[in-house]
Amino acid sequence: MNEQNPAEPQRREFFKQIGAAGVVAFSARDEARLDKLVADGAMDAPQDDLNWQKAPCRFCGTGCGVMVGCKDGKVMAVRGDEASPVNRGLLCVKGYHLPAMLYGEDRLTHPQLRDGDGWKQISWDEALDLIAEKFSSTLEENGPESVAVYGSGQWGVHDGYAALKWVKGGMRSNNLDPNARLCMASAVMGFMTQFQSDEPMGCYEDLEAAEDFVLWGNNMAEMHPVLFSRMLENKRLNPGVRIVDIGTRRTPTSEYADMYMEIKPGSDLALANGVLHLLLKKKQIDRSFINENVVFKRGIEDLDEIGYGCYGENAEKYTFKDKASDSSLEELETFLADYSPEKVAEITGLQAAQIEALATMYGDQGRNTLSLWCMGVNQHTRGTWMNNLITDLHLITGKISRPGNNPFSLTGQPSACGTAREVGTLSNRLPADMVVMNAEHRATAEKIWGLEAGTINPKPGYHAVDMFRALSRGDIKAMWIQVTNPWVSMPNLNRFKRSPGDGRFIVVSDIYPTPTTDVADLILPSAGWVEREGVFGNTERRTQQWQKLAEPPGEAKEDAWQIMEVAKRMGMGNLFPWPEDDWHEAMFEEYRSFGLGIGKDLASYKELRETRGMIWPVVDGRETRYRYAAGFDPYVKKSKGVHFYKAKGYGEKAAFWLRPYHPPAEVPDDDYPFWLCTGRVLEQWHTGSMTRRIKQLHQATPTAYVEINRADATRLGIKSGDRVRLKSRRGELVLPAAVDGRGKPPAGSVFVPFFDESLLINDLTLDAMDCISKEPDYKKCAVQVAKA
């Protein structure tokens, strides 16, 4: 700063201004001293005030409000937005370091086309024409199943909606899936199977209203730091608050837990059933609530029939479909006979007394209980089941849709809810909980979009993992990837290795080069975060809008614009009939019309512009903090209690699902004796393409590492920092050891974060999937561990 010392004119200007206002700021002594600081370059000359505007944080699903300070088209600072009901002014270290995320020197600034081993810069017109030409010819030659768009829970609502409309309404394909399939799909299927409507009933105020917190496989201290803070603040003000941490390793979250329950990987299914067993046995269930509001369902439970989607018959295409049958409370009682505390203790590795303690919490009608979960439960070969079971605990005790009593699924990405789930950018979905398999739903969408009846394809497309398998097989020939980095984040990466020139055409839109742009045929530079106008939807159903505040570098353009331009060139311009310089509001209002009047009512664009986000359903300008709850939800006409009005298929009741314990897909054995779990760390966002370019965040976590238990380390002669070789049946990797680091796995298991593109742990992970949601399980596979 100030190398040329531009301070002097600015300084005079400053004094002139304050002089005119009749204010004298400093004494002569102060002035001389400050002048010297400015001259030394130690301090800035008085600056024009930055322009401070609101925006949601770009990173996690918490959706903190930030005030963004900009000047001359650049972001220069952020601070926590005190007016935001989400974070009330607090951020986490990622949020505070947001501004530098946009200014890595290797930002992509121009479209680039593969040219032999290198790249050649081309114009936007050439790039867009080329994509249109490739997608059109692929469609013509190979049909709608041969094109695909792989998107993101970090897409803004506009981007996702543009992609959905283009793929489903324009190309008549359903090969549209987001990376949210890798993180939230099990939660989606959990809510859909139980309430026939996606997303949690509660809101963040639950964090103050609850007294007992049960964290199911959720390292909230690192993954949802600001929500964790809200929970701890509740505990400060109310010392009776208790936190239970159920996990497969000790994390920073465990340090604040009143009870830490270390379970064997995958045994959470048994634990939840064990708790249900005790609730029934001790008659701590809410019979009148159940009679009024709950139906019992059972699905397919045969292990061989279901499989894991990664080996055996379904190693290539995983098509398992669950089938519901009616069940009852009586049947549940018999079903749960298998889950006595002793039996569950054996499966989980817990003590029976701990299981009883947990059951007592759920069963205590005098206390509010909140269950929280995220990837531990979702990235699970029976993730939908586990989502079901947690919600079951709340249904059977009636602890649901009341402040402080809810099953509250936390989302990972900033708009996994807003874009992936609400817009429905999944291979089987349409906006507002609708699906392509349903003729009525298709007709609704066709009507809103002004398309001919029968346009939308009724056959669901590929889900994420299958999409990449299909790409490797060659069934998909043209693919567009936006805002995500699958060549780091997909499980069992070795399966998807690709060499350019293999007859497939891959377009990647991003803001930085990544291992995914490395394998692309065409790279498009995107505008990021506040370089464009947008909307995100966070975990608590809050839709948040922001204006464009900074200029994108070079020729970078927003993702939605890229899609619309290609669609126009393919003769599908009718899908996007809005003026080129003013379409955000019109597009949002069209999208919003999908949910109006059916309990998925989003706030209007105008309301969103003027507020710090609003929690849907928004009816007559009023938010709904607790869905399905009388007195909170305008769709509930009762005077008290709850009404699960979206679950038409269950007689407007919620479904309680009986779900058994199944073992994980791959379990350690003599050859591969260790469990491998993977995940994120506080400082890095997902694959690190943004956060690693920020000095402070990178230097705090410069490389991936393997957390290993001290006893194992001693036995294997490994010290912290030593190089360790991990090997699975799929790949191997050498990386530094962390003994007694921030996470402490128990003996027999190791943990590796996945943010490091040069140490790809996903070369080792298994692509086993949840049977219903098809979300991969990144948390459990078997490896060898040795000093390298």
Could you say which residues in the range 655-714 bind other proteins, by CB under 8 A?
682-683, 688, 692-702
Site for other proteins (CB under 8 A): which residue of 3, 4, 9, 22?
A: 22
Rounded to whole angstroms, the Cα distance separating 502 from 352 reads 56
Q: Is 94 tagged catalytic?
A: yes
* 259 binds other proteins, rule: CB under 8 A: no
List 183, 361, 572, 781, catalytic entry: 183
| Contact assessment for residue 655 and residue 581, using Cβ atoms and an 8 Å cutoff | no
Beta carbon nearer to ligand SF4, 56 or 743: 56
Q: Is 7 in the site for other proteins (CB under 8 A)?
A: no
Tell me the backbone φ, ψ of residue 526, rounded to 5 degrees. Answer: -105, 155
Q: Angle at CA 501, nearest 5°, toward 499 and 503?
A: 110
Burial of 598 (0-12, 13-18, 19+ CB in 10 A): middle
Mode of pairing for the β-strands spanning 706-708 and 674-679 = unpaired
Instruction: Extract the tokens encoding 326.
Output: 């009616």
Please give the Cα distance from 692 to 758 (Å, whole number): 12
Q: List the single partner that 63 binds among ligand SF4, other proteins, none, CB under 5 to 8 Å by kind.
A: ligand SF4
Whether 92 is catalytic is no
d(CA 392, CA 702): 42
Identify which range of 33-41, 532-540, 761-769, 777-785 contacts other proteins by CB under 8 A: 33-41
Question: Quick check: is 375 catalytic?
Answer: yes
Q: Which of these is catalytic: 274, 309, 412, 688?
A: 412
The 101-120 contact track toward other proteins, x by CB under 8 A, reads -xxxxx--------------
Residue 145: CB minimum distance to other proteins, A: 38
337 binds, among other proteins, ligand SF4, none (CB under 5 to 8 A by kind): none
What would the two tokens of residue 94 be? Answer: 């990622």
- Closest to other proteins by CB, 198 vs 683, is 683
Site residues for other proteins, 483-512, by CB under 8 A, read 512
Site for other proteins in 203-242 (CB under 8 A): 221, 225, 228-230, 232-233, 235-236
Selection from other proteins, ligand SF4, none that 57 binds (CB < 5 to 8 A by kind) is ligand SF4
Kindly determine how many residues on this chain lie close enough to bind ligand SF4 according to the rule CB under 6 A.
13
DSSP string, 436-448: TT-HHHHHHHHHH
Residues within window 52-111 making contact with ligand SF4, judged by CB under 6 A = 57, 59-60, 62-64, 87, 91-92, 94-95
Interface pick for ligand SF4 out of 157, 184, 226, 445 (rule CB under 6 A):
226
Which SS3 state, helix, strand or coil, does residue 565 take?
Answer: helix
CB of 234 to ligand SF4, least distance (A): 17
Considering the candidates 60, 64, 171, 375, report the single residue annotated as catalytic.
375
Single out the residue of 8, 13, 44, 316 in contact with other proteins (rule: CB under 8 A).
44
- Cβ proximity to ligand SF4: between 63 and 660 the closer is 63
**Nearest Cα to Cα of residue 187 among 773, 774, 780:** 773
| Helix, coil or strand: residue 723 | strand
Which one of 46, 178, 225, 491 is in contact with ligand SF4 (CB under 6 A)?
225
Minimum CB–partner distance for residue 143 and other proteins (Å): 41
Q: x/- string (CB under 8 A) for other proteins, residues 304-333?
A: ------------------------------
462, two tokens = 């590929």
User: According to CB under 8 A, which one of 6, 26, 365, 649 is a site residue for other proteins?
Assistant: 26
Q: Considering the rule CB under 8 A, would residue 611 count as an interface residue with other proteins?
A: yes
- If the CB atoms of residues 50 and 324 are measured against other proteins, the closer one turns out to be 50
Which one, 22 or 503, has the nearer CB to other proteins? 22
- Two structure tokens written together for 55: 């925006």
Q: Exposed, middle or buried by CB within 10 Å (0-12, 13-18, 19+), for 778?
A: buried
- Asked if 89 is part of the footprint of other proteins (rule: CB under 8 A), the reply reads yes
Cβ-contact 372, 220 below 8 angstroms:
yes
Cβ atoms of 497 and 515 within 8 Å: the answer is: no
Q: Identify which of residues 24 and 326 has a Cβ nearer to other proteins in the complex.
A: 24
The residues near 668 (Cβ < 8 Å, ≥ 6 apart) are: 674, 675, 748, 782
b or e along 556-573 (b: 16 or more beta carbons within 10 Å of the residue's beta carbon)?
bbbbbbbbbbbbbbbebe
The question of whether 412 is a catalytic residue gets the answer yes
CA distance 754 to 761: 6
Say which entry of other proteins, ligand SF4, none residue 110 contacts (CB below 5 to 8 A, set by partner kind): none
187/379 Cα distance (integer angstroms): 10
Q: Is 384 helix (H, G, I), strand (E, B) or coil?
A: helix
Give the Cα separation of 230 and 576 in Å (integer): 42
Least distance between other proteins and beta carbon 223 (Å):
11
Among 56, 61, 80, 170, binds other proteins (CB under 8 A): 80
Amino acid at 368: N
Assess whether 184 carries a catalytic annotation. Answer: yes
Please, what sign has the CA dihedral across residues 204, 207, 209, 215?
positive
Query: Is 568 known to be catalytic?
Result: no
Q: Is residue 539 at the binding interface for ligand SF4, with CB under 6 A as the rule?
A: no
Question: Encoding tokens for residue 418?
Answer: 């807003």
My answer on whether omega of the bond before 460 falls inside 30° of 0, hence cis, is: no
The least distance separating other proteins from the CB of residue 62, rounded to whole angstroms, comes to 12
| Contacting residue, 3, 49, 304, 669, with other proteins by CB under 8 A | 49
606 counts as binding other proteins under rule CB under 8 A: no
Quick one: what does residue 62 bind among ligand SF4, other proteins, none, with the CB cut-off 5 to 8 Å set by partner type? ligand SF4
Interacting residues with ligand SF4 between 592 and 651 (CB under 6 A): none
**Contacts with 51 (C-beta within 8 Å, 6 or more apart), sequence order:** 69, 70, 71, 549
Phi and psi, residue 345, nearest 5°: -60, -40
Q: How far apart are CA 626 and CA 616, in angstroms?
A: 10
Token couple for 53: 């505007």
The residues annotated as belonging to the active site are 94, 183-184, 375, 412-413
Residues that bind ligand SF4 (CB under 6 A): 57, 59-60, 62-64, 87, 91-92, 94-95, 225-226
